[in-house]
Structure 1
Amino acid sequence: MANQPAHKFKIGLITATVWANDGFYSVDLSRSYKTDTGDWKNTGSFHHSDLLNLAKCAERAEIWIGRQINAK
């Protein structure tokens, strides 16, 4: 069984996935898109119109991680 993320934040097509690993956290930021064949894929490349949602997801992840650290 694969590791599960500690938390996810999604705004529009942008997702911030928070991973917990031995006392520290990391965050993957991605954008979902649909291929010509109708399959959903993810990428780490962003269009300028994604940047506000990207920043908001990153901020929410940072706040969530801070709360987890402060709760210890």
Structure 2
Amino acid sequence: MEKEKPEHVRVGGIEVTIWGNNGFQTVTMQRTYKDKNDEWQKTQSLRVNDLPKAILALEKTYEKMVLKE
């Protein structure tokens, strides 16, 4: 039972990761941002302005998963 290397789709600060394990795939999504100390952080919470980027990232992820050869 071997896990596949994760694939990433990024649109701006939104990243969707495709996880594969023996033909079964799942996805996770996160947003990267800089905090008040100018350090990079990650969260699963999205702001209203992140929604168009999240939609585009999910559409690209779907295409990558469905059209994968």
TM-score normalised to structure 2 length: 0.85
Could you list the runs of 5+ residues in structure 1 that have no partner in the other structure? Answer: none
Where in structure 2 are the equivalents of 1:1-72 lying within 5 Å? 4-5=5-6, 7-68=7-68, 71=69
Runs of at least 4 residues off by over 3 Å: none
Structure 1: distance between partners of 2:54 and 2:65: 17
Q: Which has the higher helix share?
A: 1
Q: CA deviation at 1:21?
A: 1.1
Structure 2: distance between partners of 1:25 and 1:19: 5
Q: CA deviation at 1:22?
A: 1.3
Q: Per the alignment, do residues 39 and 4 of structure 1 end up closer, same or farther by CA in structure 2, a change over 3 Å counting? A: farther
One-letter amino acid matched to 2:45: S
One-letter amino acid matched to 2:53: N
TM-score normalised to structure 1 length: 0.81
One-letter amino acid matched to 2:10: K
Could you list the runs of 5+ residues in structure 2 that have no partner in the other structure? Answer: none
